[in-house]
Structure 1
Amino acid sequence: MVNIRNLDPSASPLDYYGSELRRLREEAGLNQPQLGRILYCTGSLIGQIETAKKVPTREFSERLDAALMTSGSFSRLVGLVLRSQLPTWFQAYAELEGRAAYLSTFQAQLVYGLLQTEAYARAVLGVENPDRLDDMVVARMDRQRILGREHPPVLCVVLDEGVLHRQIGGDEVMRNQLAHLLGFRDHPWVQVQMLPFTAGQHPGLLGSFTLLRFDEDPDILYSESYDSGHMTAHSQVIRERSVSYARLQASALSREDSAALIERVMRERYGHQPEPAVA
């Protein structure tokens, strides 16, 4: 059945995307199943996106641009669409995260979003957002594109050891997530350090936080409460949190020892012996 629903293009980026897709498809003289065959997807998927019932991916948008010869219009628009699927209070941070030259984060509860696997993200987001889970997972994974850019940001991550022991999604999900963290041990722009339980009291006891530094704009401190994010560029706050982060890094294990801890927890808690590194 063909999906027909009139959209208000000004209602949201997703509605605008859907209305433009329908307009240009009809101008090309194609129905939904015909365009679906060109894009190697179902006509139903085309209809769901045209009616703002499903969020498009970047891959879909690239194929759509090629099929309808739109000079990259949908590929440019999809970033805005995906960002709009994030919680409203988080969207401003996500935009700044994408522009930052340096990201320094301490995470007390979970793996940082930029380093999460899809399955781990799905388990985390599914706790309170089961009705929008697919769209939110796509949006979170899209944030990680910045690590694959030609000039990615420098990302320094300190994780509390408890993050490794907190079982999110089951043993298999955790095995894959810890293996994913190990994959960054030799990354030129990503540094992962573990803050062990033996560190005792530390500045991160106040909660997770992220420092964003830019080439030209002022530094930003970001932290979260239950349902909101807080950002500030106050120089004294930035100064204090920068010192706190330096102390966390000093108390954390080295890059190599952090990898050894991750491997040990993976083996002992989740029943997996990592493959030896290839020389």
Structure 2
Amino acid sequence: MTHINILDPGASPLDYYGFELRRLREAAGLTQRQLGDVLNYTGSLVGQIETARKVPTLEFSERADAALGSDGLLSRLVELVLRNQLPTWFRQVAELQSRAVEICSFETHMVHGLLQTEAYARAVLGALDDTGLDDRTAVRLARQRIFEKEEPPVFWAILSEAVLYQEIGGPVTMREQLGHLLGFKDNPRINIQVLPFKSGAHAGLQGSFDLYRFESDPAIVYTEGYGGSGHPTANRATIKKCSLRYDHLQAAALSLRDSAEMIRCVMEDRYGEQRDVA
């Protein structure tokens, strides 16, 4: 007789999800393998999710809801599960991103997580540690769902020109990532500017930062440091200084149209098809 893992649904959002998935599957009279066949996943994966050994994705959850007639329960739960998988210090930032009506970001060395492709995100997250990489990548990509809300935030992203040349994940990944950025050029809510090398000394020399603005709450500035820690602050003086810095960075950056043209040129000249074959 196969041993059935008994989950405590109150132990964590992941345990609760697994408990509910098993309950729904058994109510439908399906084995793990049968449900996997219906969802186009393996029965083993279904079992790992049911026993809280694997983090479910949004796609898995949507398929399972449709197959089990669960009225979107798993799709709603998966957002809680994925947010809970974030490092403790970053959960507050994910909450800020989900509530913000405007996000202003300046990045010096890589594409912002909210704009990363799957391959690029995997390369970034796996640079020093590839344990649980599939799950950590899925969690990062799930944060991008804020742009699917009925009223998504307005996102301003200023990228240093260096971001376009820092080859993360190889030329194929970079070409895909830059092409992904170009895909936003007609989206008025996602605006991408490049700060060119020729701008010289600029207002962002102290490093990357994010500025979150809300409907009624005070704005918050967020910076990251080494050692897996983030630093959000609502200090009025800091907000004022960073807002001014961002205004100067936008003034020094290329226009939206010229930024898209630079991204396209780098994508084709540096990461063109001839490099992809190598």
1:144: how far off?
1.1
Q: What is residue 197 of structure 2 aligned with on the other side?
A: 197
Identify the residue that residue 270 of structure 2 maps to in structure 1. 269
Alignment-derived partner of residue 250 in structure 2? 249
Partner of 1:53: 53
Q: C-alpha displacement at 1:272, in angstroms?
A: 5.0
Equivalent position of 1:171 in the other structure? 171
> TM-score, normalized by length of structure 2?
0.92
Aligned residue identity for 2:102? Y
Q: Distance in 1 between matches of 2:8 and 2:127?
A: 31
CA offset digits 1:115-141 (Å, max 9, x no partner): 111111111111133111101111111
| Counterpart residue number, 1:210 | 210
2:122 alignment partner, SS class: helix
Match of 2:88 in 1: 88
CA–CA distance in 2 between the matches of 1:266 and 1:21? 43
- TM-aligned CA distance change 1:195 to 1:233, over 3 Å: same
Unmatched segments (≥5 aa) in structure 1: 274-279
Q: Distance in 2 between matches of 1:74 and 1:68?
A: 10
Q: Show the counterpart of 1:277.
A: none
In structure 2, do the counterparts of structure 1 residues 254 and 73 end up closer, same or farther at CA, with 3 Å as the change threshold?
Answer: same
Larger deviation, residues 24-33 vs 216-225:
24-33
Q: Per-residue CA shift, 1:197-233, capped at 9, x if unaligned?
A: 1111112111111011111221111111121111111
Q: Distance in 1 between matches of 2:193 and 2:7?
A: 47
Give deviations 1:148-199, integer Å, cap 9, x for gaps: 3332110000001110110001111111111111111221111111011111
Q: Percent identity?
A: 59
Alpha-carbon RMSD:
1.8
Map 1:35-46 → 2, pairs under 5 A:
35-46=35-46
Shifted more, 62-71 versus 83-92: the winner is 62-71
Question: Take 1:54 and 1:123, find their aligned partners in 2: how far apart are those partners?
Answer: 21
Deviating beyond 3 angstroms after TM superposition, the runs of 4 or more aligned structure 1 residues are 1-4
- Structure 2 unaligned residues grouped into runs of 5+: none
Deviations 1:5-55 (A, max 9, x none): 233323321111112222332343332122223333221111010111211
What is the 5 A alignment of 1:12-91? 12-91=12-91
Distance 1:62 1:167 in 2: 34
How many residues in Structure 1 have an aligned counterpart in Structure 2?
273
Mean Cα deviation higher: 181-190 or 152-161: 181-190
The residue number in structure 2 matching 1:98 is: 98
Following the alignment from structure 2 to structure 1, what is the Cα–Cα distance between the partners of residues 149 and 213?
A: 17
Structure 1 position 118 matched with structure 2 position 118? yes
Distance 1:44 1:166, change over 3 A: same
Select between 199-208 and 158-167 the one with higher mean Cα deviation. Answer: 199-208
1:27 to 1:166, Cα distance in 2 relative to 1, 3 A: same
SS at match of 1:264: helix
Superposed CA deviations along residues 219-264 of structure 1, whole A, max 9, x for unmatched, are 1111111211111111111111000000000111111111121122
Using a 3 Å threshold, how does the CA distance of structure 1 residues 196 and 65 change in structure 2: closer, same or farther? Answer: same
| Other-structure match for 1:221 | 221
Aligned to 1:276: none
The 2-side partners of 1:2 and 1:94 are apart by: 39
* CA distance 1:26–1:249, shift in 2 (3 Å): same
Q: TM-score, normalised by structure 1?
A: 0.92
User: Counterpart of 1:240?
Assistant: 241
Partner amino acid, structure 2, of 1:261: M
Change in Cα spacing, 1:35 to 1:268, as seen in structure 2 (3 Å) is closer
Q: CA deviation at 1:2?
A: 6.4
